[in-house]
Structure 1
Amino acid sequence: MANNKSAEKRIRIAKRNRLQNRFYKSSVKTLIKMFTNRLEIYKTSGNPDDKLQAQIILSSLYSLIDKATKKNIFHKNTAARKKSKLSLRLKMS
């Protein structure tokens, strides 16, 4: 239990940051799963609309990763690695 005002404030700030970090990380994971599923659908169907949908998901994923990097949730190299892997997946399909 906190014994002074500054310790109580640090607890509140830590909780706020933890929730924000969890939101960004889980959203990125969810979008990656959606992107992967869309690529699998494209591989089986060969429909160019499915690839277009994957590109739209990828652009929103890039945006979310960049915002998380700006807020120091992801390290810049981690973000670059994630983006590189995703673009390679799209390129190979």
Structure 2
Amino acid sequence: MANSPQSKKRARQADVRLTVNKARRSRIRTFIRKVEEAIATGDKTAAQSALHTAQPELMRGVTKGVYHKNTAARKMSRLSARVNAIG
């Protein structure tokens, strides 16, 4: 339990960051899921457009500290490879 005023403030800030980051992570997962659903239907144009909308969201997660840079790059690489494989 936080006792000093500084530790109480840090605990409050941690709670706020947790909720904000949880919302950001959920939003990014939604965009990724839209790409995967478009891939599952086999519609290449829809998958490409979903990928182009998901990419800035994923990179925004990197700048906000939700994801590591390499994690986001790996996710984008794998998604784009799957989109390109639709043919």
TM bucket by the smaller chain?
A: 0.7 to 0.9
Alignment match, 1:17: 17
CA distance in 1, matches of 2:51, 2:24: 15
1:57 partner letter: A
Alignment match, 1:38: 38
2:2–2:8 contact (8 Å) kept in structure 1: yes
Secondary structure of the corresponding residue to residue 2 of structure 2:
coil
Q: Does 1:4 align with 2:26?
A: no
Query: What displacement does 1:68 show?
Result: 0.8
Paired residue for 1:88, among 75, 81, 85?
81
Q: How many residues align?
A: 86
CA distance in 2, matches of 1:6, 1:60: 40
Query: What displacement does 1:40 show?
Result: 1.8
Secondary structure of the corresponding residue to residue 3 of structure 1:
coil
Percent of matched pairs sharing the same residue: 34
Secondary structure of the corresponding residue to residue 37 of structure 1:
helix
* Root mean square deviation of aligned Cα: 1.4
1:81 partner letter: R
Paired residue for 1:79, among 68, 72, 80?
72
Query: What displacement does 1:3 show?
Result: 1.2
Query: What displacement does 1:4 show?
Result: 1.9
Q: Is the deviation greater in 14-23 or in 81-90?
A: 14-23
Alignment match, 1:47: none
TM-score, normalised relative to structure 2: 0.86
CA distance in 1, matches of 2:8, 2:45: 49
Secondary structure of the corresponding residue to residue 62 of structure 2:
helix
Unaligned segments of structure 1, at least 5 residues: 44-49
Query: What displacement does 1:56 show?
Result: 2.1
TM-score, normalised relative to structure 1: 0.81
Secondary structure of the corresponding residue to residue 67 of structure 2:
coil
